[in-house]
C-alpha cells in the first residue's frame, strides 16, 4: 500500500505543475492579444491589469498551495520511506526467524523420520518373531492334541483296568466302593481327631500350668468371701388370716369385694379350703406384693368394701415404691457405687421381689457385684466399674413383664437411656452371649453371674426339669461308639463316662469328652458348668494254679 501512496502524491504534484504552466501560457497569450489590438482605453487597461493582478494572485496562491503540497508530499514520502525501511527490517528479521524455525523443524523431522524408521525396523523384527512363535505354538498345539488323544486312549485303558481291579477288590473284600470310601473317610476323620486332640492336649497342658492356679485362686477367693441366702421362687403369696370368718368379708356380698380387689390390684385372689389363709397369684412380683400389703391392711382394719380397697391399695403402692427405692439405695451403699440415675435405682429395688430358680434377683446382683469386684482387684482392674457392670447385668428383669424381649437387651437399652457408659451397656447385653463379647469387663460379668448362680445352694429347679436334664445328659454321652456306662453325678454337674478299653484308647477318650461337652453346650440350658469325665480302665487278670 505505501508505494501506491507515493505514486499518487507524484501524480498530484505533476497535475499542479501542469495547471500552473497552463495558466502562465494563457496569460501570455492574453497579453499578446492585447498588445496586437488597438491601443486600449484606460478603462480597458485598468480592467486588464486588474484581471492580470488577480491572475497573478491566483497563480501565487496556487504556487503556495503547490509548494505546501510538495512539502507535505515530501514529508509523507520520508515518513513512508522510514516506515518502509522499518517494515523491511522487520521482514528481514521475520524471514531470519522463519528460516531458523524451518531449519529446526527440518532437523526434528529428520530425527522423527529416523526414529520412525528404527521403530518400523523393530516392528518388522517383532512381527517376524511373532510369526515364528505362532508357528511354534501351532506345532505345540498339534503335538498337544496328539498327546491328549493318546492320553484319552490310555485313560480308557486305565479305567477298564481300574474297573477290573475294583471288581476284584470288591469281590475279595466283600465291600462296595462306597462302603470302602466311607470307612476310609471315617478312619481319616478319627486319625485327624486323634492328632488334633494330641495338639490340643499339649496346648491346654501348657496353658493350664500357668492359668489354672491363678484362676482357681481368684474364683475360690470370690466364692468364699460371698454368701447369700436363698429365697423360694413362686408366683403365689400366702396371707394368714385371724379366722375363717374373714374370708366371707373378703368375698363380700355376691362377690363384690373380691371383684373390686382383683380389678384394683390386678392380682388373682384365691380363697379355698385352706384354714385361715388366702392365696395371691400374679406373675408381677411388685404387683403381688402391693396386693398382699393392701389385703393385710384391710384385714387389720376389718372394714372391707370397694372404696376402702382403693384407699388401701394407693397407700400400699406408695409404700412398696418407697421400699423399692430404699432397697436400691441400700444396694448401692453396700457396694460403694454412686452417681446412678434414680430410675435405675428404683428398678434395682423392684428386683427385691423377683426370684430366678429360687434365687432372689437383687441379692444375686449384689453377690455378683462383690464377686466381680474381687476378681477385678486380683486382676488390677477398675473395681467400681466391674461392680457397676455386675450389679446392672439383670436390670432388664424388672421390666420383662411389661416389655417383650430378652432381659439382657432390655437392660442394655435401659442403661443406655439413663446415661451408663458403653462398657457397662456392653457387659449387660453380652452376659448371655446374645451379643458377641468384646471387652474384659463383659467376660468378668459373665463369670461373676455364673459363679453366683451355680454355687451350691444358690438356685433350685423343679424335679421334673431336673430329671429330664439328667436323662438327656446320659443319653448324649451314651450315643457315642465305645461307651459302656454313663453316670450323671453331683446333681447333674458332672458326667462319668465309662468306655470300653479294647475299643477306645486314651486319645479317643479325650476326643469323646470334647464331643460330649460340645453337644451338651449346644442342646441343653443349665446354670454354671458341667464336667465330663471319660474313664478308661484296663484290667489284667491271671489265675495261679
pLDDT for 39: 53
User: How far is the CA of 455 from the CAs of 225, 446, 451, in angstroms?
Assistant: 12, 14, 6
Q: Provide mean pLDDT across the span 436-455.
A: 83
Between 210 and 250, where is the model more confident?
250
pLDDT at residue 536 above 80?
yes
- Looking at the chain, the whole-number percentage of residues with pLDDT higher than 90 is 1
Lowest-confidence segment of 7-11, 252-256, 330-334, 417-421 by average pLDDT:
7-11
Those residues whose C-beta lies under 8 Å from the C-beta of residue 253, and which sit 6 or more positions away, are: none
Q: pLDDT digit string (tens) for 239-262?
A: 788 877 788 888 888 888 888 888
Q: Which residue from 379, 397, 395, 497 is spatially nearest to 447, judged by alpha carbons? A: 379
Q: Average pLDDT of the chain?
A: 79
pLDDT at residue 225 above 60?
no
Q: pLDDT digit string (tens) for 349-389?
A: 888 877 776 678 888 888 889 888 888 888 888 888 999 99
Lowest-confidence segment of 26-30, 149-153, 239-243 by average pLDDT:
26-30
Helix (H) or strand (E) holding 507: helix 506-523
Give the model's confidence band at 530: pLDDT under 50 very low, under 70 low, under 90 confident, else very high: confident
Contact 458, 359 (CB under 8 A): yes
- CA–CA distance, 264 with 347 (Å, rounded to integer): 23
Q: What spatial distance separates the first Cα and last Cα of the chain, rounded to whole Å?
A: 152
pLDDT at residue 334 above 80?
yes
Angle at which helix 285-301 crosses helix 256-265, to 10 degrees, equals 140
pLDDT at residue 190 above 80?
no
Q: pLDDT digit string (tens) for 280-305?
A: 887 777 788 888 888 888 888 878 88
Architecture of domain 236-454: Orthogonal Bundle (1.10)
Q: Which residue from 305, 403, 301, 286 is spatially nearest to 348, judged by alpha carbons? A: 286
pLDDT at residue 1 above 50?
no
Give the model's confidence band at 184: pLDDT under 50 very low, under 70 low, under 90 confident, else very high: confident
CATH class of 463-536: alpha beta
Those residues whose C-beta lies under 8 Å from the C-beta of residue 200, and which sit 6 or more positions away, are: 514
Coil, helix or strand for 415?
helix
Coil, helix or strand for 387?
helix
Those residues whose C-beta lies under 8 Å from the C-beta of residue 177, and which sit 6 or more positions away, are: 166, 170
N residues, the chain: 545
Q: pLDDT digit string (tens) for 80-104?
A: 778 778 878 888 888 888 888 888 8
Q: Which residue from 324, 449, 338, 336 is spatially nearest to 398, judged by alpha carbons? A: 324
- CA–CA distance, 297 with 283 (Å, rounded to integer): 22
pLDDT at residue 232 above 60?
no
Give the model's confidence band at 227: pLDDT under 50 very low, under 70 low, under 90 confident, else very high: very low
- CA–CA distance, 486 with 508 (Å, rounded to integer): 17
pLDDT for 231: 36
Give the model's confidence band at 230: pLDDT under 50 very low, under 70 low, under 90 confident, else very high: very low
pLDDT for 363: 86
Those residues whose C-beta lies under 8 Å from the C-beta of residue 256, and which sit 6 or more positions away, are: 305, 306
Q: Which residue from 360, 424, 430 is spatially nearest to 387, judged by alpha carbons? A: 424
Contact 484, 537 (CB under 8 A): no
pLDDT at residue 422 above 50?
yes
- CA–CA distance, 545 with 532 (Å, rounded to integer): 42
Give the model's confidence band at 228: pLDDT under 50 very low, under 70 low, under 90 confident, else very high: very low
CB atoms within 10 A of CB 197: 20
Q: Provide mean pLDDT across the span 56-77.
A: 74
Between 179 and 266, where is the model more confident?
266
Helix (H) or strand (E) holding 358: none
pTM > 0.85: yes or no: no
Coil, helix or strand for 62?
helix
Contact 274, 304 (CB under 8 A): no
Those residues whose C-beta lies under 8 Å from the C-beta of residue 506, and which sit 6 or more positions away, are: 536
Helices (H), 37-175: 42-173
Q: pLDDT digit string (tens) for 451-490?
A: 877 665 555 555 566 678 888 888 898 888 888 889 887 6
**3-state SS of the chain: helix, strand, coil percent to 5?**
70, 5, 20
> Which cell numbers in the block locate residue 470?
439328667
Amino acid at each position: 500500500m505505501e508505494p501506491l501512496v507515493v505514486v499518487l502524491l507524484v501524480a498530484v504534484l505533476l497535475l499542479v505543475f501542469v495547471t500552473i504552466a497552463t495558466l502562465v501560457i494563457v496569460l501570455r497569450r492574453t497579453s499578446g492579444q492585447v498588445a496586437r489590438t488597438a491601443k486600449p482605453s484606460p478603462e480597458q487597461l485598468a480592467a486588464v491589469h486588474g484581471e492580470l493582478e488577480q491572475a497573478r494572485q491566483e497563480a501565487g496562491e496556487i504556487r503556495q498551495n503547490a509548494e505546501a503540497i510538495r512539502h507535505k508530499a515530501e514529508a509523507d514520502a520520508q515518513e513512508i520511506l522510514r516506515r518502509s525501511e522499518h517494515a523491511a527490517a522487520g521482514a528481514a528479521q521475520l524471514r531470519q526467524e522463519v528460516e531458523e524455525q524451518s531449519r529446526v523443524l527440518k532437523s526434528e523431522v529428520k530425527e522423527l523420520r529416523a526414529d520412525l524408521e528404527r521403530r518400523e525396523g523393530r516392528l518388522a523384527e517383532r512381527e517376524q518373531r511373532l510369526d515364528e512363535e505362532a508357528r511354534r505354538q501351532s506345532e505345540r498345539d498339534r503335538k498337544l492334541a496328539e498327546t491328549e488323544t493318546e492320553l484319552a486312549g490310555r485313560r480308557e485303558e486305565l479305567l477298564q483296568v481300574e474297573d477290573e481291579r475294583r471288581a476284584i477288590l470288591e469281590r475279595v473284600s466283600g465291600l462296595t466302593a462306597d462302603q470302602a470310601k466311607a470307612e476310609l473317610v471315617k478312619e481319616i476323620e478319627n486319625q485327624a481327631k486323634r492328632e488334633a486332640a494330641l495338639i490340643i492336649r499339649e496346648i491346654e497342658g501348657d496353658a493350664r500350668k500357668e492359668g489354672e492356679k491363678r484362676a482357681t485362686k481368684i474364683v475360690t477367693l470370690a466364692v468364699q468371701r460371698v454368701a447369700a441366702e436363698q429365697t423360694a421362687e413362686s408366683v403365689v403369696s400366702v396371707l394368714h388370716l385371724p379366722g375363717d370368718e374373714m374370708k366371707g368379708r373378703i368375698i363380700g356380698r355376691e362377690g363384690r369385694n373380691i371383684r373390686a380387689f382383683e380389678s384394683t390390684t390386678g392380682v388373682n385372689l384365691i380363697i379355698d379350703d385352706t384354714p385361715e389363709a388366702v392365696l395371691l397369684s400374679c406373675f408381677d412380683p411388685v404387683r403381688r406384693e402391693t396386693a398382699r400389703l393392701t389385703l393385710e391392711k384391710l384385714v387389720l382394719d376389718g372394714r372391707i368394701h370397694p372404696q376402702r380397697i382403693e384407699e388401701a391399695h394407693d397407700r400400699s403402692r406408695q409404700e412398696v415404691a418407697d421400699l423399692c427405692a430404699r432397697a436400691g439405695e441400700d444396694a448401692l451403699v453396700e457396694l460403694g457405687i454412686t452417681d446412678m440415675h434414680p430410675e435405675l435405682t428404683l428398678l434395682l429395688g423392684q428386683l427385691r421381689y423377683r426370684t430366678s430358680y429360687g434365687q432372689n434377683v437383687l441379692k444375686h446382683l449384689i453377690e455378683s457385684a462383690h464377686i466381680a469386684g474381687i476378681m477385678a482387684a486380683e486382676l488390677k482392674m477398675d473395681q467400681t466399674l466391674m461392680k457397676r457392670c455386675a450389679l446392672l447385668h439383670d436390670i432388664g428383669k424388672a421390666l420383662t413383664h411389661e416389655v417383650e424381649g430378652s432381659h439382657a437387651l432390655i437392660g442394655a437399652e435401659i442403661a443406655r437411656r439413663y446415661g451408663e457408659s458403653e462398657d457397662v451397656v456392653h457387659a449387660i447385653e453380652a452376659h448371655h452371649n446374645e451379643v458377641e463379647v468384646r471387652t474384659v469387663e463383659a467376660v468378668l460379668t459373665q463369670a461373676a453371674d455364673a459363679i453366683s448362680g451355680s454355687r451350691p445352694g444358690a438356685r433350685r429347679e423343679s424335679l421334673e426339669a431336673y430329671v429330664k436334664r439328667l436323662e438327656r445328659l446320659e443319653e448324649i454321652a451314651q450315643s457315642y461308639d465305645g461307651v459302656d456306662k454313663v453316670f450323671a453325678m453331683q446333681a447333674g454337674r458332672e458326667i462319668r463316662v465309662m468306655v470300653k478299653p479294647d475299643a477306645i484308647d486314651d486319645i479317643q477318650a479325650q476326643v469323646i469328652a470334647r464331643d460330649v461337652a460340645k453337644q451338651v453346650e449346644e442342646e441343653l440350658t443349665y446354670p454354671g458348668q458341667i464336667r465330663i469325665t471319660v474313664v478308661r480302665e484296663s484290667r489284667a487278670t491271671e489265675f495261679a494254679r
